[in-house]
A and B are shown apart, each in its own frame.
Chain A
Amino acid sequence: MENSPSTHQKMQQEMTIGSWLFNPFIRIAGARSLIIGLAGIVAAGLAAAGAGIRFDGLLDVHAGYEVALWMPVVDGLVNWAVFTLLLMVVAILFSKSAVRLIDIAGTQAMARMPLLLVAAACNLPLIQDTFDGIATVLMGGDELDRSTVTGIVAVILVTLGGVVWMVALMWKAFSVSCNMRGGRAIALFILAVLLGEAATLYLTRVVL
């Protein structure tokens, strides 16, 4: 025990750029993260509506819809709410700490911020032209040209990068807000993601 890392030192550690990008929850949680996160979800939804994409599932970003302005906003709120409730259940059942709903809700809302960048990127002319190019090809109007292929690669990189970043943030948010670490916590998180994905797919694609 004498060799254990000091609590004070652990808390006083400098926040590096990496910490801010992948674990801002050391510094921000509770009501503050909830306000930032909800603003991010609404902004991401509005940007997604402009780009013609939906967040139709916990980890999903899809184009090719006729998107009403409210739809991606509600998608984001449903995804966040469902996953927050699932993690609250996990925390009540498995965490040894006294967990607060506002910490789980706030940090999970903030963890969805990368989708704002994804949605904003999808409004770029290169990506919009790509969506149009794919639609034309799918309707049999044309063959894939070089710029469309480049655009497809850009779309994949942007969406995949954004979703991977979001999942990393969701994990850290869960770990900090529920005080859960180690193999069992990872397994429970993966289970919650799978259940959350199934539930949100149903809610956003069938109900909405």
Chain B
Amino acid sequence: MQGQLPKSCPSCGAGLRVAQLACPACETLVSGNYPLPALARLSGDDQQFVLSFILSSGSLKQMAKLYGVSYPTVRNRLDDLISLLKDVKEASKGREETDGE
């Protein structure tokens, strides 16, 4: 079973960052302090929605059929996701500015 990527600290709830990456072939480890990409910060189900949206060629009608809901329901969910991603982008921008000072 593949575990889910944790996005927030189980202790204080702050957003996690990538500190280490490993090569599965030669076991080389890369250490650093990388922010998670915006899409990776979405919940697993939201990521699945984005994936389905891309695989449907961005067709909301096809998405509505796939999920068995009405067109405006899918469009509203997509708009919610757009709003979430905008917030993430804003937050990342703010964090980068704080780190840079």
Interface residue ranges, A against B (CB under 8 Å): 1-4, 6-12, 25-30, 33, 96-100, 103, 107, 176-177, 179
Chain B: residues with Cβ within 8 Å of the partner, total of 28
Contact A7 B80, beta carbon cutoff 8 Å: yes
Additional A-B contacts beyond A1-B41, A179-B72 (15; CB < 8 A): A2-B15, A4-B43, A7-B43, A7-B45, A7-B77, A8-B46, A10-B77, A25-B72, A27-B73, A28-B70, A97-B76, A97-B79, A100-B72, A176-B72, A179-B79
Q: Which residues of chain B in 41-69 are interfacial with respect to chain A, using CB atoms and an 8 Å cutoff?
A: 41-46, 48-49, 67-69
Interchain CB contact (< 8 A) of B70 among A4, A7, A12, A25: A25
Name B19-45 residues within 8 Å CB distance of A: 41-45
Q: Mark B69-96, 1 if CB is under 8 A from A, else 0.
A: 1111111110111001001100000000
Q: Please report whether the interface of chain B is mostly helix, strand, loop or mixed according to DSSP.
A: helix
Q: Which residue of A lies closest to B73 (CB)?
A: A26
Instruction: Check A7–B46 contact: CB distance below 8 A.
Output: yes
Taking Cβ atoms with an 8 Å cutoff, the residues of B that contact A are 7-8, 15, 41-46, 48-49, 67-77, 79-81, 84, 87-88
> When A and B form their complex, which 5 residue pairs have the shortest distance between CB atoms, in order from nearest?
A8-B45, A6-B45, A29-B70, A179-B76, A6-B43
Q: Which residues from A are CB-within-8-Å of B69?
A: 11, 26-27
* Cα-based distance from A72 to B71 in the complex (angstroms): 31
Contact status of A176 and B43, CB under 8 A, knowing A12-B67, A27-B68: no
The answer to whether B46 and A6 touch across the interface, beta carbons within 8 angstroms, is: yes
Assess the B43–A98 pair: CB atoms within 8 A: no
